[in-house]
């Protein structure tokens, strides 16, 4: 087969008579789709550049804050750890989570303080009531002075019993406060671990908790610097 057609001894080029059969509407659709994809690509590049700029800024801030830490903790914040912290902050979700956890903690602490103050005020009233009762009992001994030693001994014993009761009551309240605060810390640790914040897991090890507190402080300071 040949792409040339002969007539006698001569040859001639074939006549190409191809005409496009594409629908103009289809061409317009393809063109619009290409423009849309180009716009999406441009926006994606802008997003990547903005995130990279934000990442660099966060990393610089974190490195500056780490320099102020004691040496024992400073060496724990390697470049990879700081980079991980900076990365998890980029979309802003962790900032919102930390703010929410802070609000919950403050509300819980206020409620616990109010409960404790109610107990303290109640105990104060009980002491005042007993003091008045003892004073009245002693005054009644003015007419019967021989009863005074017995009344004083009774007052002393009654006061001691009340103080022991009130002390146990406060101790019980304080133990509940500690347990609730420990639970708040565990909830915060679990939440931030799920959010992908480095160094966060449920622990009560003092050094690990201290590192987590430093990270929370970093995040709060960075969040405040943006507002």
Q: Is residue 181 part of a domain?
A: yes
Q: Is residue 68 part of a domain?
A: no
Positions of the chain with pLDDT under 70: 1-22, 227
Q: What's the whole-model pTM score?
A: 0.72
Q: Domain of 146? A: 92-226
pLDDT for position 144: 87
Domain count, the chain: 1
- 3-state SS string for the chain: CCCCEEECCEEECCCCCCCCCCCHHHHHHHHHHHHHHHHHHHHHHHHHHHHHHHHHHHHHHHHHHHCCCCHHHHCCCCHHHHHHHHHHHCCCHHHHHHHHHHHHHHHHHHHHHHHHHHHHHHHHHHHHHHHHHHHHHHHHCCCCHHHHHHHHHHHHHHHHHHHHHHHHHHHHHHHHHHHHHHHHHHHHHHHHHHCCCCCCCCCCCHHHHHHHHHHHHHHHHHHHHHC
Q: Is residue 6 part of a domain?
A: no
Q: Is residue 19 part of a domain?
A: no
pLDDT for position 47: 77
pLDDT for position 9: 52
pLDDT for position 95: 96
Q: Is residue 109 part of a domain?
A: yes
pLDDT for position 7: 47
Backbone phi, psi, residue 172, to 5° = -65, -40
pLDDT for position 147: 86
Q: Is residue 165 part of a domain?
A: yes
Q: Is residue 17 part of a domain?
A: no
pLDDT for position 13: 56
pLDDT for position 1: 43
Q: Is residue 133 part of a domain?
A: yes
């Amino acid at each position: 087969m040949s792409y040339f057609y002969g007539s006698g001894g001569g040859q001639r080029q074939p006549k190409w008579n191809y005409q496009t059969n594409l629908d103009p509407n289809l061409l317009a659709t393809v063109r619009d789709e290409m423009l849309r994809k180009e716009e999406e690509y441009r926006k994606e590049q802008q997003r990547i550049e903005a995130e990279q700029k934000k990442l660099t800024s966060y990393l610089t801030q974190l490195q500056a804050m780490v320099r102020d830490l004691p040496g024992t903790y400073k060496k724990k914040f390697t470049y990879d750890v700081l980079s991980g912290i900076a990365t998890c902050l980029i979309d802003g979700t962790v900032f919102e989570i930390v703010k929410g956890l802070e609000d919950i903690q403050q509300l819980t602490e206020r409620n616990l303080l109010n409960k404790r103050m109610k107990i303290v005020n109640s105990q104060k009233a009980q002491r005042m009531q007993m003091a008045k009762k003892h004073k009245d009992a002693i005054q009644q001994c003015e007419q019967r002075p021989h009863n005074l030693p017995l009344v004083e001994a009774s007052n002393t014993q009654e006061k001691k019993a009340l103080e022991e009761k009130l002390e146990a009551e406060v101790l019980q309240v304080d133990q509940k406060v500690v347990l609730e605060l420990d639970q708040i810390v565990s909830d915060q640790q679990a939440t931030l671990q799920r959010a992908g914040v480095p160094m966060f897991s449920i622990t009560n090890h003092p050094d690990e908790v201290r590192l987590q507190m430093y990270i929370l402080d970093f995040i709060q300071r960075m969040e405040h610097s943006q507002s």
